[in-house]
Amino acid sequence: MSDLIEIVDSLENRISKLIHKHDLLKQQNADLRDKIKDLKADSELQIDQLKQWEEKFSALKNANAMLGSDEYKRETKLKINALIREIDVCIAQLSE
């Protein structure tokens, strides 16, 4: 009979340890999910900032080209020509 009691006590102890470990893992999982959510938000913020910097850089390149910088002059001329073609297409569509 005492063997049976020892077995039951051992099982209760193991079950208790498993439940405790399960609770710890659930908490770690929740913490990791929160961390993932925070990292995604940070990533989106950095992507937005990168886009803003790219736009500012593009505007600065265009300004340098207009000021006579030979480095970006050709690129700016091509961009202006593309914009003119788009405007011509819009005017043609409005004329129809």
Residue 80 CB neighbour total at 10 angstroms = 13
pLDDT digits (tens, 9 = 90+) for 55-64: 999 888 777 7
The domain limits of the chain are 2-95
Phi then psi dihedrals of residue 28, to 5 deg? -60, -40
96 confidence band (pLDDT: 50, 70, 90): confident
Burial of 64 (0-12, 13-18, 19+ CB in 10 A): middle
Q: Evaluate if pTM is beyond 0.85.
A: no
Gap between the Cα atoms of 85 and 16, Å rounded = 75
